[in-house]
Structure 1
Amino acid sequence: MIRIFLSLVLIISLLGCKDSQATLTHIEGHQLPVTDSIQANQDVLDYIAPYRKRIDEEMGAVLAYAPQSLSKKEGLYNTALGNMMADAVFELSNPVFKKRTGKNIDAVLLNHGGIRSTLNAGDVTMRSAFDIMPFENSVVVVELTSDQVNKMFDYLKSGTAHPISNMQLVIDKKNEIKTATINGKPVENGKTYFIATNDYLQQGGDHMTFLSEPLSMDVLDYKIRNILVDYFKEQDTIAPVRDNRFIKE
């Protein structure tokens, strides 16, 4: 009888242990600052040295020449640097899109915040492209209705110098749209337009929600940064200008 009783106690104890769970009661952390006082590991430095040398050579390869520095801060409504990026996307993406679909891109819209660096005067290198566009954003082409395109122009009239290509927006002193054209023509009701942009904006980034529900979408698998590299390779001199593609009268 005692043996049976002890067996029951053991079973109950095991069941009780099975149901119990550990509970976190305390977390302790320590800050480990990374400073120059930390000694470099020479073995690691020696190991990565040839890879670093190869990367530095590739990143430093001269692709073109810029006679003057270009900054995204040099224009209120459009900048030479932003115009260059939008035009490069239009010029190099359209052949890819047309080969796949038989159709042409109507216009390009990028975002001012996506330009992350100045293009410095002098040699334009692979590193220049990475500095300007360090992100992995790729080109997507969205098919928008005329209503969505009009919403796009309403968004743009706020005045930020978002890079655009093959479209023009003129606003008056009250920030109201005076003229808005694509391919040199006003937006036609009932017509659809193919707008090249990046995947971040297509997903509603920078509150560009008019891009998030297109009639159709084609992902070109062509990174903006790679477009810049290819564009620089094709040019001898990088000298874009501010123009009247987006102005306030």
Structure 2
Amino acid sequence: MNRIYTLILIGFLFVTCKPSQANLKAVQGKQIAVTDSLESNQMVIDYIAPYKKRIDDEMNAVLAYAPQSLSKSDGPYNTAIGNMMADTVLEYGDPVFFKKTGKHIDGVVLNHGGIRSVLRAGDVTMGSAYEIMPFENSIVVVEITSGDVRAMFEYLKTGKAHPISNMQLILNSENELASATLNGKAIEDGKTYFIATNDYLQQGGDGMVFFTNPKSTTILDYKMRSILIDHFTKQDTIAPIRDNRFIKE
């Protein structure tokens, strides 16, 4: 009898002690605005102070000087700041690419929307490079066919001032391509070309699908922002110009 009672008691305890299954019935939330009304924590401020000072010192370090402000809105077909960025990719990226492959970059295509800030007149700092290029985009070189290069030219002919280098596009009065050359030459059927761009565009960003199926892809391990910083560090004065790399007759 005692044995039966013991078994019943154990079974009862097992059932009553078994944790109940929780079921989510509702989720509530509210937006908390980060404003000056929030109280600061002095202990946290004191803790991060030396790190903040180091970052501020690096960001504010003067690398060069710009006599005038440069904006991506300065022209319909090419802009001084866009030309600077594309030319800089060619100048600094080509030696890296040649060391990896023994070949040279034929041209550069970046995107107008990738320029995120004006380069303001005055001191050019490391912070300036972060403002212009806040993203972690890296440079890649894609080997594409002559057909893809022509598709690239058709994309670029819309007139938006996408940064380009080592190529020239001339539109006629009907906004059709009167001339399109790469590395100073017309495109040859059956030939492949090496175009430097960023990893976002290589994946088809901004509709640049002609980069998505390359014959080969070479990652340079060189961020666009790092190229800008290297350029600013090397130059005393930052004064690029608009030119005839993309014009309308």
- TM-score calculated relative to the size of structure 2: 0.92
* CA apart distance, 1:165: 0.2
Q: Which residue of 2 aligns with 1:35?
A: 35
Matched, 1:64 2:85: no
Moved more, 194-203 or 32-41: 32-41
The CA distance in 2 between the partners of 1:33 and 1:125, in whole Å, is 31
* CA apart distance, 1:29: 1.3
The CA distance in 2 between the partners of 1:33 and 1:126, in whole Å, is 30
Residue-by-residue CA offset, 1:191-228 (whole Å, 9 max, x unaligned): 11000000000000001000011000000010000000
Letter in 1 for 2:57: E
SS at match of 2:119: coil
SS at match of 1:185: coil
Residue-by-residue CA offset, 1:120-167 (whole Å, 9 max, x unaligned): 111111011001000000000000000000000010011110000000
The CA distance in 2 between the partners of 1:186 and 1:238, in whole Å, is 32
Residue-by-residue CA offset, 1:13-47 (whole Å, 9 max, x unaligned): x79x99x9543221111222221111111111111
Moved more, 197-206 or 233-242: 233-242
The CA distance in 1 between the partners of 2:170 and 2:21, in whole Å, is 67
Letter in 2 for 1:230: D
Letter in 2 for 1:236: D
* CA apart distance, 1:115: 0.2
Q: Point out where structure 1 has 5 or more consecutive residues left out of the alignment.
A: none
The CA distance in 1 between the partners of 2:27 and 2:236, in whole Å, is 59
Moved more, 125-134 or 45-54: 45-54
The CA distance in 2 between the partners of 1:193 and 1:74, in whole Å, is 30
Q: Which residue of 2 aligns with 1:152?
A: 152
Q: Which residue of 2 aligns with 1:241?
A: 241
Cα RMSD (Å): 2.4
Q: Which residue of 2 aligns with 1:97?
A: 97
Letter in 2 for 1:152: M
The CA distance in 1 between the partners of 2:125 and 2:24, in whole Å, is 53
Letter in 2 for 1:188: E
* Equivalence map 1:100-249=2 (5 Å): 100-249=100-249
Residue-by-residue CA offset, 1:27-77 (whole Å, 9 max, x unaligned): 111222221111111111111111111111111111111111000000001
The CA distance in 2 between the partners of 1:199 and 1:30, in whole Å, is 37
Q: Point out where structure 2 has 5 or more consecutive residues left out of the alignment.
A: none
Q: Which residue of 1 aligns with 2:83?
A: 83
The CA distance in 2 between the partners of 1:193 and 1:176, in whole Å, is 23
- TM-score calculated relative to the size of structure 1: 0.92
